[in-house]
Amino acid sequence: MTVKGIDVASYQSTTYSTDGLGFVMVKATEGTGYVNPRHAAQVAHARAEGVVVGHYHFARPGSMSAQVSYFFQHAGAKAGDILALDWEDTGVSGADKDVFVKAAQRASPSHRVLLYCNRDFWLNRDTTSYCGDGLWIADPDAAAGHPRVEHAWTVHQYSSAGGLDRNVANFASVAALRTWAAKHAAAEPGHEPFPGAAWFTVGRKSPIVAAMHARLVAVGCDHYQSTANKDVIGSGDIASYEAWQRKYSTEHHKGWTGDALKWPPGKESWDALKVPDV
């Protein structure tokens, strides 16, 4: 099942229809010199209609850190809103998009940050498969909910018919989407919060690693060759966690393939593993 949504910019009305929709993504900014003049009104309309709200920034060549600051200055995101980078300018490199997404995640850890791009950019320009908290993929030649990418996707923009971009989000219900978007508000007490993908480097020593080791064994994903150095990330942790990702994807019908099943851990599977506080 999926949740229907649209994305809008300055050329759309401020009173667009939300009939049957669960979310609306609104263009906020572009580069460091443009603000969608209808952004505030379009967001207010979405809030009044009770749908999940997103804000996106269209990246232009130049300083990514300056564009992140500009985006946050004008987006006015509230708790539970989604943020996104729109990557479709050929002058913005894959390294640039990684810098933007990671900087946005650091600047606002309580918000989900998505990467939007078309299939050509994802397959032929991207080199890292980094998309923050999820991939928003544009593939209008594919049926809704069936984008032609191997990576796990969060939102599929499948049509621009009639001048309106239509999307589906990969969630069973609007409630599930809202819970996901709330991020930290949905985190359970007593468990280690996701430390970020960059934290999971081979050789890192931490009591969190030992706690993860114990949980992976407990859920039946024990691919460890030794019980020595449980608090140091090694090949056993990688094999065991990838086994957990496969198990979680299968049991929850995620359909993950490719990099989505590879190390390092992602937030969704980490939260589901329930590594206890240490």
* Residue with more model confidence, 253 or 187: 253
| Boundaries of every domain in the chain | 3-185, 188-273
pLDDT, mean of residues 152-179: 94
Whether 257 shows a pLDDT value over 90: the answer reads no
102: closest CA among 122, 79, 85, 125?
A: 85
> What's the one-letter identity of residue 15?
T
Residue 187: pLDDT band (50, 70, 90) is very low
Q: What is the pLDDT of residue 161?
A: 87
**In contact, 198 and 99? CB cutoff 8 Å:** no
Q: What is the pLDDT of residue 243?
A: 96
**In contact, 258 and 238? CB cutoff 8 Å:** no
Whether 188 shows a pLDDT value over 60: the answer reads no
Tokens 């078309």 — which residue? 118
What angle separates helix 94-107 from helix 64-75, to the nearest 10 degrees? 40
In whole angstroms, give the CA distance from residue 38 to residue 28: 9
Percent residues over pLDDT 70 in the chain: 98
* Residue with more model confidence, 16 or 227: 16
Give the predicted TM-score (pTM) of the model. Answer: 0.69
List pLDDT tens digits, range 59-98: 999 999 999 999 999 999 998 999 999 999 999 999 999 9
In whole angstroms, give the CA distance from residue 139 to residue 149: 9
Whether 216 shows a pLDDT value over 90: the answer reads yes
Q: What is the pLDDT of residue 163?
A: 86
Task: Compute how many other C-beta atoms are within 10 angstroms of the C-beta atom of residue 60.
Answer: 17
For the record, the structure tokens of 261 come out as: 């099943």
Q: What is the pLDDT of residue 186?
A: 43
List pLDDT tens digits, range 29-62: 999 999 999 999 999 999 999 999 999 999 999 9
In whole angstroms, give the CA distance from residue 103 to residue 35: 20
Q: What is the pLDDT of residue 255?
A: 83
Tell me the fold of 3-185.
TIM Barrel (3.20.20)
